[in-house]
Structure 1
């Protein structure tokens, strides 16, 4: 078989969605090349992974677990019983109601958990509502099932042109949401705290979304991978709304040990929700990867035990609040507006006041993106030595206009 005839056997989905480097490769390779060329260090605020190690107690758990024979073999497809029990205990306390292991499925990272939800419930012709900006992985995960994405805006706050805003200023397009619902709508996806805005959906917003999900018999998927990085007095969850308790019966919530313990390479996540919905997630997960790395599941279980006694998550939140104070002062001094984060570790900064030289030279792979934020990100790397992520990557093509923003990731 020739290479050309073999190439004709490809999946057309990947053909139509290929040809360009992914955002992470493009930006990080640009940063590496700039550092090599200049000989000066580049400050990477767009890398998407932690620059420091997990806490000592989590590392210790890994070292001890790896020496035990039983944790070096396949884990059960549902998950390590110790981790399932720890998460059941955690969410029983968090949600104020009994959560059993029947309400949980361990997955190989949060992304595989979301992927398993989509493959467990979607078929060709179904529709999924996603709020825009969106985490980029949602879209191919949905489309590969044959389902269609319907986009609803988190509306750009006009005052962001000249002043700082909060997550609450990024309002749901409620008319757009209602108009997007049809008899084909199977799932609504939310991300709270939101990447890249840093918005935490408030109780009023979650209630309105939940009421629509109940009215139209829709599953709500709540991506809460940053659940331990919130900076408000409390973290509202759609599965725990005091004024809409019935929403919990149709909510699947996604969590992440990687984000919780600064260990994204461990690839341990989970889905929790109604016990009549979890089996479909389990069935898809079993076919996708069968089971999640056994020693790391046990290590996460032990890390949660320790974190419950040493105030680890509260300490980390305080550390991030202090980091934000320092980080935001830079942009206050520069007079550049930003969205004050309510959660996560992002800062969405408006660089519209910065005028790039008209004759600045950009490589073809930057020019091919056709949006100002890619030019801005390239210029910041080359001239200032700071890496950020162009947020148009989190928008549909028709919304990729002359935005002059960069998402900074703070670790």
Structure 2
């Protein structure tokens, strides 16, 4: 039986593919260092785990409202007020099965056939695929390395057509770790208001910043921008809860209602126990990101300092997230490869270092390295990459 046309054009996730290949080699007895992971290597804090256990004992294992339990919605509202100076009502919040599901549901309720969504590149791998699944067209705009991988107002204006429905802003970014500052966001936001373009602000990495730069949500810059923005976030990165699958969207009531209606026919509700775990995460006075930021910053410094010494590799130092995104096109040429994809594949085969090629992020000259593993492994990985480049010089 033939499959539906809507999934025939989908590109498999490059991050999941490289992780699967690395796991396969590791299971075969190879000493593989995986730099593909998009999740913190910390376990979920104990107080969150205990809250989940208690909720199960207390019988909180039934269906919940589709858009999430009110208690969790309220602490999300409190968080948005405290951290982002944003005021929302219950009807403007939906809790979803991860931030990825929030994005998927948003595109499904937002896009008609051939509606366009502007996607700055480098981009997270799922943005274009989710847009295509909703019948829309991703319009890729290249953020240049000279501008810290961020798009300019002129680039945005040039990409807008009569079919443009929305733009995605991911700050800090996956895969580059770069951030838009307040001035840049204001200018881009004004253009979106001028052309009536919805802003989708993916802020999942907002707590993982290693410089003095302050995370700014574009929605907090004016009442008009807030009314024209859907904020996407969740507990996956901030509380090391990737597997719990709890995210949320905050935005205009009509959009949130449509998302909730759609979710009622897809997931019914986010997992009940995971919602109570997320409730504990946001209610607690503890901030697990304090320790995470300290450790990630140390790893970033160690890995960055080694990577930039490798012949043929250049790299901008990121402000946040937990990825390096170095340009390795010259290294690939030095080693006689026609593409970075080929070079990355050979690196895994020869040196057992798994990295994600930049082609999956719309930037084929680059690779993404996650530093969500121990500093010792990162140092060893960098040494292996250097050895690979030097021994294969042509």
Question: What's the TM-score bracket when you normalise by the shorter of the two chains?
Answer: 0.7 to 0.9
**Residue in 2 that maps onto 1:260:** 238
- In structure 1, the residue matched to 2:347 is 380
> Does residue 48 in structure 1 map to residue 9 in structure 2?
no
The 5 A counterparts of 1:117-128 are 117-128=106-117
Q: CA deviation at 1:130?
A: 1.0
Partner of 1:210: 189
Counterpart CA distance in 1 for 2:135 and 2:27 is: 43
Q: 1:22 to 1:253 in 2, by over 3 A?
A: closer
Greater displacement, 309-318 / 127-136: 309-318
1:212-250 superposed Cα distances (whole Å, 9 cap, x missing partner): 111111110001111211224311110112xx4421111
| TM-score, normalised via structure 1 length | 0.83
- Cα distance in 2, alignment partners of residues 151 and 29 from structure 1: 27
Which of 196, 202, 208 is the equivalent residue of 1:223?
202
Instruction: Determine helix, strand or coil for the equivalent of 1:140.
Output: helix
- Report how far residue 28 of structure 1 moved: 2.7
Look up the match of 1:363: none
| Pair 1:14 & 2:3 matched | no
Of 134-143 and 219-228, deviating more is 134-143
Quick check: 1:325 aligned with 2:301?
A: yes
When structure 1 is superposed on structure 2, of 207-216 and 320-329 the one drifting more is 320-329
Residues 96-245 of structure 1 correspond to what in structure 2 (within 5 A)? 96-157=85-146, 169-233=148-212, 234-241=214-221, 244-245=222-223
- Cα deviations by residue, 1:293-345 (Å, 9 ceiling, x for unpaired): 01110111012111xx2232233222221221222232244364222111111
In the alignment, is the contact (CA less than 8 A) between 1:188 and 1:219 conserved in 2?
A: yes
Check if 1:68 corresponds to 2:48.
no
Give the unaligned 5+ runs of structure 2: 373-394
Give distance in 1, aligned partners of 2:53 and 2:310.
46
SS at match of 1:231: coil
Equivalent residue runs for 1:295-306 within 5 Å: 295-306=273-284
Where does structure 1 lack aligned partners over 5 or more consecutive residues?
1-5, 158-167, 361-370
State the match for 2:15 in structure 1.
Answer: 24
State the 1:15 CA deviation. Answer: 2.6
Q: Residue 166 of structure 2 aligns to a residue in which SS?
A: strand
What is the distance in 2 between the residues matched to 1:92 and 1:109? 21
SS in 2 for 1:92: helix
Aligned length: 370
Residue 338 of structure 1 is matched in structure 2 by: 315
Displacement after TM superposition at 1:90 (Å): 0.9
Q: In structure 2, how many angstroms separate the alpha carbons of the residues matched to 1:407 and 1:348?
A: 5
Q: CA deviation at 1:22?
A: 4.1
2-structure distance, mates of 1:98, 1:26: 40
Give distance in 2, aligned partners of 1:24 and 1:322: 24
Give the match's secondary structure for 2:200: strand
